[in-house]
Amino acid sequence: MLINRIELHHISLPLVHPFQTSMGEERLRPIIITAVFTSDGLVGYGECVAMSGPWYTSETVETAWHILHSYLAPALLGFELDPEHPERLPALFGRVRGHQMAIAGLECALWDLAAKMRGVSLARLLGGHKTRVSVGVSIGIQPTIDDLLRRVDSFVTAGYRRVKVKIKPGWALEPLRAVRQAYPDLQLMADANSAFTLADVPLLQALDPLHLLMIEQPLAWHDIADHAQLQRQIATPICLDESIQRPADVQLAVALGACQVINVKVGRVGGITAVQRIHTLAQENGLALWCGGMLEAGVGRATNLHLASLPGFTLPSDISASDRYYAQDIAVPTFALNAEDSTLTVPTQPGIGVTILPEMLDRFAVQTATFTA
């Protein structure tokens, strides 16, 4: 089936609440939605999760737009998608170095198309078996511990059983200790977004008695070796996030003993094909996986749910309900928390199982581009 049209939609969605991490604060979420059309009238959707600045990875929404607009989208026109082998991408995709989020934004649309061509959900195409996915919520850095406890309480009351708290130097032990004292049985984890160094080992060791589910990316965003040294000195499982840019990084982390858990983000690793490889490596080497969040809108959230249905994703994922971040989403149906078991339901319709609302793309549009064969 030939690809004869591609649309890029750069939008900016207002967040329900400001989201603050050790890297800064987000109030508006820039997103690029990709739409890939075939000669038979099908359309697949992807979501590029590059952020406003190079704080999480080196990519930004502007660099992603440039790569998508100038290189990836034009190269895809006229490409014949094989629904039996959606991982077979145009040769140019392999020639582009880096820019994983830009590549993933378009590659995910091809997987959505491949599933629709075969009349199955993306989860079924990938071999996922879960009908519901365990999820948790991520809480940004709060002004005070009392504010943090109120935020935690609101989510626990809503039905979330796993809570992730963002931490940084000066906001780590006491906030986490306060949450643990208030909720002794809560699945609690911490996310440092690379805010610490090996000089902070005593502080990180002091977190061990809190019995955290994990501590996510405590050291430098590009590091694996120091994480291995840290993991030998603390009992809390280390989860690598930013350090895992490609499947080869998983192999290195295993060889060094750098972590026990990996946060899988489809944008960070360059697409669904890379996620499949990481999933296999994790299962072969006894690593736990969960699906991380990037403040996705409806397309990205749906894609994440399908990925998290795979058997190797055994820990609660950061795929909160739609209204956690956005008052109005760009796709339907939206996703609501199943409060009785802290899960979201995996769509069963062909592809990713959501429909884009064109009026919402228009309402929040920053720029658009269309490519035709």
Active-site positions read 166, 265
Q: Please give the helix or strand (H or E) that residue 158 lies within, else none.
A: helix 145-158
Distance (Å) of CA 248 to CA 107, 263, 269, 281: 19, 15, 10, 10
Contact 32, 68 (CB under 8 A): yes
Tokens for 162, please give them: 């796993």
Task: Show the CA angle centred on residue 107, arms to residues 105 and 108, nearest 5°.
Answer: 70
Strand, coil or helix: 88: coil
Q: Are 148 and 181 contacting, i.e. CB atoms less than 8 angstroms apart?
A: no
Cα separation, 84 vs 116, in Å, equals 12
CA distance 286 to 217: 19
DSSP single-letter state for residue 324: G
CB 324 within 8 A of CB 137: yes
Handedness of CA 12, 18, 19, 22 (dihedral sign): positive
* Token couple for 55: 């704080």
Tokens of 298: 């409806």
Contact 331, 299 (CB under 8 A): yes
Farthest-apart Cα atoms in the chain, separation: 61
